[in-house]
């Protein structure tokens, strides 16, 4: 027996049902979720006694001063100190993997002063800095390389070779160079502690104020 044919009214209802299908499949209106506010960017200072804040209370040391200077520039950043007194570039290379944590956005390499004080071979200083930068870039960490200016009176040839290390490393790896960490502070008695080497609170504030725009640009470049 032939099946009964659908009525004309039923056929006319099919397009209406199909047209309604997508609307029926739409989820109910949802309230927008909470807006995600990005957390602060992390800056790590990999250095020696200067970045460790030798002779200064924590709030006057370079990490705290740099964080305050970055905030004044509008950068949402937290600065971690990873300075070890007496550390050379060799020490920094040995500990970079655990001293610069995984969540670091930009690392400031502030090593070399103790290499200079100990008269270490500039070629070895360069090799160590090369290794540090290579490791950080391999992890996707932005790098600012802070140099140290060797005074000519320690020996013209040595000073020339030592001072050439930092721009050479920066060029080789395409990282930002801050030519002299102690710019405006070195050999200024009013800005240093009694030893004439370590910045006092005023000196640390000057270093931070001059370094902060460079670090802020490095953070901004990372998006």
Catalytic, out of 7, 48, 49, 87: 49
Q: Which of 80, 220, 208 is nearest to 146 (CA)?
A: 208
Token pair 């001063």 is at which residue?
65
Catalytic, out of 87, 105, 115, 198: 198
The verdict on whether 103 is a catalytic residue reads: no
The verdict on whether 173 is a catalytic residue reads: no
The verdict on whether 99 is a catalytic residue reads: no
Catalytic residues: 49, 195, 198
């Amino acid at each position: 027996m032939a099946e009964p044919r659908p009525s004309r009214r039923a056929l006319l209802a099919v397009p209406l049902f199909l047209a309604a299908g997508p609307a029926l499949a739409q989820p109910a209106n949802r309230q927008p979720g909470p807006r995600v506010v990005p957390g602060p960017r992390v800056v790590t200072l990999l250095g020696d006694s200067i970045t460790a804040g030798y002779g200064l209370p924590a709030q006057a040391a370079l990490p705290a001063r740099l964080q305050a200077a970055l905030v004044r520039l509008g950068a949402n950043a937290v600065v971690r100190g990873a300075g070890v007194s007496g550390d050379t570039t060799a020490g920094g290379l040995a500990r970079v993997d655990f001293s610069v944590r995984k969540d670091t956005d930009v690392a400031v390499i502030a090593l070399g002063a103790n290499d200079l004080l100990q008269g270490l071979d500039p070629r070895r200083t360069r090799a160590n800095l090369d290794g540090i930068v290579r490791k950080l870039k391999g992890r996707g960490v932005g790098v600012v390389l802070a140099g140290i200016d060797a005074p000519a009176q320690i020996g013209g040839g040595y000073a020339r070779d030592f001072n050439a290390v930092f721009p050479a490393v920066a060029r080789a790896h395409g990282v930002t160079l801050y030519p002299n960490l102690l710019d405006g502070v070195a050999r200024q008695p009013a800005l240093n502690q009694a030893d004439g080497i370590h910045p006092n609170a005023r000196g640390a504030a000057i270093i931070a104020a001059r370094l902060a725009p460079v670090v802020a640009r490095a953070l901004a470049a990372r998006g």
